[in-house]
Amino acid sequence: MTVDYVELVAEAAAVDVSGWDFSWLDGRATEERPPWGYAGKLAERMAGVDSSLDLQTGGGEVLSLATGIPRRAFATESYEPNIEKATALLGPRGITVVADTGEPPLPFPDGSFDLVTSRHPAVVHWHEMARVLAPGGTYLAQHVGPASAFELIEYFLGPQPGARQARDPDREASQAVAAGLEIVDLRTARLRMEIHDVGAAVYLLRKVIWWVPGFTVDRYEDRLRNLHDDIQRNGPFIAHSTRHLIEARKPA
């Protein structure tokens, strides 16, 4: 175990991983951005509606970029550290953050919102989301696609053939239609990720906890040491994220 390994892992194991700000990775890992510019689309749509709901908002980082805030604006989040971050960030903007379990039902009446949004929701409960949309309202979201970052995930867990089939964009579109929505737009992207040191991998696995459930440095020390050696020997670890933009409308 080299000194560099120890220092890199210790630093990454100690840093705060709450919220969805990934700036700690600057210079240590990169990921291509989807071509559609979700944050810009979100801001544009929010400026044109009277009511909005952002589901699973994380620390509110993406939602906070919107310049025009609807008269009634809400966000939900279930993870306690993120709730505190989102409340501090979004509250002064006039956006109410609601602590939510992430499971149905949403704590809002039927037909409450002109716009429902979400960036990388862990789960989409389509019928519930359609319920809170007003007639003519829109769901606009960027979802994680199938087998996203699986090169890294399977480096630690081994082959995951069943999990690779999840989050299929066409299947999600069919589920949206089954919930009574009309698909307006569906686009997909496969994006290159580069991980330049083992500390970046530790940070990611601590932050995105569903990638390698139960991840700890001690539990995966052998794989982390191998990853460190691989990066030192061969350069950045390459993985690929997948994303899809989905827009669905509730018929008027």
Beta strand 51-54 with 72-77: parallel, antiparallel or unpaired? parallel
| Alpha-carbon span 156 to 211, nearest angstrom | 10
List all residues 6 or more positions away from 15 whose beta carbon is below 8 Å from its beta carbon: 24, 203
Judged by DSSP in three states, 89 sits in helix
Specify the DSSP class assigned to residue 71.
S
Residue 149, domain CATH: 3.40.50.150
Domain that holds residue 226: 3-249
Distance from the Cα of residue 146 to its chain's centroid: 13
Q: Could you read off the pLDDT tens digit of each residue along the chain, which spans 252 residues?
A: 456 999 999 999 999 998 889 999 999 999 999 999 999 999 999 999 999 999 999 999 999 999 999 999 999 999 899 999 999 999 999 999 999 998 999 999 999 999 999 999 989 999 999 999 999 999 999 999 999 999 999 999 999 999 999 999 999 999 999 999 999 999 999 999 999 999 999 999 999 999 999 999 999 999 999 999 999 999 999 999 999 999 999 999
Kindly state the tokens that stand for 161: 């053939």
The label of the residue with tokens 């951005």 reads: 33
Cis before 81? omega within 30: no
Domain count, the chain: 1
Residues 36/244, Cβ–Cβ less than 8 Å = no
| Alpha-carbon span 243 to 31, nearest angstrom | 12
